[in-house]
Amino acid sequence: MRDVVSDMITRIRNGQKANLLEVPLFFPTPKICINILKILEDEGFIRGFTKKIINERIHLVVLLKYDNWQAPIIKKIERISKPGQRFFCKSKHLWKLNNGLGIFIISTPLGLTTDFIVRQYGLGGGEVICYVE
């Protein structure tokens, strides 16, 4: 069994370290990966992502983002909940990352969202997928 979310996070991390402008994702991407990329785009950590059709299969290309001094916007991205060890947390136990500059991506009954939305709407918590600083 492959963990496609960890693979996607590792590709983004390695692409940022190599100062690449875009990172291809060569596996059939499930909805959770697309939703994580949408959250990263909405929060301003990546420029976006595009879909390319290669050999009748849909592949994603993540467009990485850098600041004016060519330093990566994503300082740290780590997977928390893994297939062998799930991590669930209530909203009142979530702490703020990097004085509010980082985010947790949480899977709630209403879908993937950030820790800010979970606290704001009192969703109770859920599975903590990853964090980004």
pTM of the model: 0.91
Residue 91 has φ and ψ, to the nearest 5°, of -65, -30
The predicted pLDDT at position 132 comes to 95
- 58-112 pLDDT, tens digit each: 788 999 999 999 999 999 999 999 988 999 998 888 877 767 788 999 999 889 9
Domain with residue 42: its CATH number is 3.30.1490.10
Q: How long, in residues, is the chain?
A: 133
- 1-44 pLDDT, tens digit each: 588 999 999 999 999 999 999 999 877 778 899 999 999 999 99
- Which one is predicted more confidently, 55 or 11? 11
Q: How confident is the model at residue 123 (pLDDT cuts 50, 70, 90)?
A: confident
* CB contact set of 38 (below 8 Å; sequence gap of 6+): none
Cβ pair 61, 22 in contact under 8 A: yes
Distances (CA, A) of 26 to 22, 51, 54, 81: 13, 11, 10, 22
Query: What is the C-alpha to C-alpha distance for residues 24 and 50, in angstroms, rounded to an integer?
Result: 10
The predicted pLDDT at position 38 comes to 96
Number of structural domains found in the chain: 1
Query: What is the C-alpha to C-alpha distance for residues 51 and 107, in angstroms, rounded to an integer?
Result: 24
The predicted pLDDT at position 30 comes to 82
Report the amino acid identity of residue 8. Answer: M
In terms of Cα–Cα distance, which of 78, 7, 16 is closest to 47? Answer: 16
Q: Which domain holds residue 88?
A: 4-132
